[in-house]
Amino acid sequence: MAKVTVYTMDFCPYCERAKALLKQRGVDYEEKRVPMDDDAQWDALEKKTGMKTMPQILHGEKLIGGYNDLAAIDQKDQLASLKT
């Protein structure tokens, strides 16, 4: 099954909420922190996802979106569709 990857940055409350929700629902994930001053990494991530905000959450190579998108999935199936 596809794994969940959460791209985060420091001092991001929505990043913390996303990680807490995944943990609460028992969904394993890999966190990848993006430093604020790493323009190359930010540019590459934006090119990959089309997003400029954090967190950016992927299930395998499929973009879930940010925290609100993750919460919407949680409302439907309590993140069961993301469990590996």
* pTM exceeding 0.85: yes
**Band of the pLDDT at 83, cuts 50, 70, 90?**
confident
Q: For the segment 15-59, what is each residue's pLDDT rounded down to a tens digit?
A: 999 999 999 999 999 999 999 999 999 999 999 999 999 999 999
User: What domains does the chain contain, in order, with CATH numbers?
Assistant: 9-82 (3.40.30.10)
Of 27, 25, 29, nearest to 7 (Cα)? 29
Distance (Å, rounded) from C-alpha 81 to C-alpha 84?
Answer: 9
